[in-house]
Amino acid sequence: MSFETKREVLNWYERQPRTLTEKFISKINWNEIKNYPLDKRFIPVLLYMRDVETLTDVYYKELRRTPTGKDPIISRFMERWSVEEQTHGELLNRFLNEAGISTDEKWQSQVIGSVSTGYTVTNRLITTLTNLVGKRFTATHMAFGAIHEMSTTQGYRRLVDLAKHPVLSEILRGIIREESAHTTFYRSVARIELQKSEISQKLSRFLIKHFWTPVGSGAKPRHESGYTIATLFSGDEGLSGLTRMFRREFRRCPDLQA
């Protein structure tokens, strides 16, 4: 898929039906979850993923204060995107509950409340800096988003392969379909924005090289990100899958290649 304008990308995204509809969710065999073993080492990973999905709401609110978030096309995408990410968090939480891992009734507000002050201050600072740079920063925002969505998608794929839990796989495949649509949106808009100016390209490359961190790190304690990455991506297969995916996706975004 190659788009000429952001409007075309948005139109494409809006034509995609939601995968995780009420019907899809009601057909998941929730009652069978307990019938299959779940390796304990994946529980912290699932909790991490649940929390990161939920925290997109914090990121969304911050982004709305920037020129990127005020862009009518991007803000329209983000309205639906943030709802979809919340569903992902809710489904992962429900899976954990059905698997016998109880969570607090107010887990969502606890997750948001547990974000460190340091992270909030940094985020505010970035927002202020972003406002100074203005629209030129949009390409970087979109490129960061694309990388986050791609690595999240690959993380879910790895979890399907490693956990081998049939009901979890069914849920994750639904989530992966929505994450793939998010990747297409971010990557396509990043490409369009990057083509607009050489300054944007240089800025994006510099910021990604020096400031990109895995999704959730900063908001979540470092050891939790480390544990999730090590569990999902250690070993040849874990890393080579990630590398293959980035190569494939970035071939469609040549302005980001070093």
User: Amino acid identity, residue 67?
Assistant: P
* Overall residue count recorded for the chain in this entry: 258
88 binds Fe ion (CB under 5 A): yes
Q: Is 157 in the site for Fe ion (CB under 5 A)?
A: no
Which listed range, 17-25, 155-163, 177-185, 214-222, lies at the site for Fe ion (CB under 5 A)?
A: 177-185
Q: Is 179 one of the binding residues for Fe ion (CB under 5 A)?
A: yes
Element (H, E) at 253: none
Binding to Fe ion (CB under 5 A) within 204-243 occurs at none
The answer to whether 249 contacts Fe ion (rule: CB under 5 A) is: no
Asked if residues 96 and 50 have their Cβ atoms less than 8 Å apart, the reply is yes
Half-sphere exposure of 217 (CA within 13 A, CB side): 14
What tokens does 58 get? 């914090």
Q: How far is the CB of 156 from Fe ion (least distance, A)?
A: 8
Smallest separation, CB 175 to Fe ion (Å) = 6
**Looking up tokens 């390796």, which residue turns up?**
39
Spatial distance between the Cα atoms of 231 and 47, rounded to a whole number of angstroms: 13
DSSP one-letter code for 32: G
Smallest gap from Cβ 199 to Fe ion, in A, equals 28
* Ordered DSSP codes for 69-96: HHSHHHHHHHHHHHHHHHHHHHHHHHHH
| CB closer to Fe ion out of 94 and 196 | 94
51 forms part of the interface with Fe ion (CB under 5 A):
no
* Nearest distance from C-beta of residue 134 to Fe ion, angstroms: 26
Instruction: Give 71 or 179: the residue with its C-beta nearer to Fe ion.
Output: 179
Stretch that binds Fe ion, among 30-38, 48-56, 121-129, 132-140 (CB under 5 A): 48-56
The secondary structure element, H or E, covering residue 66 is none
Of 94-133, binders to Fe ion (CB under 5 A) are none
Binder to Fe ion among 71, 85, 224, 255 (CB under 5 A)? Answer: 85
Q: How many helices (H) and strands (E) does the chain have?
A: 12, 0
Indicate whether 182 belongs to the interface with Fe ion (CB under 5 A): yes
Q: Which is nearer to Fe ion, 149 or 255 (CB)?
A: 149
Query: What residue has token string 């020096």?
Result: 210
The binding site for Fe ion (CB under 5 A) comprises: 53, 85, 88, 149, 179, 182
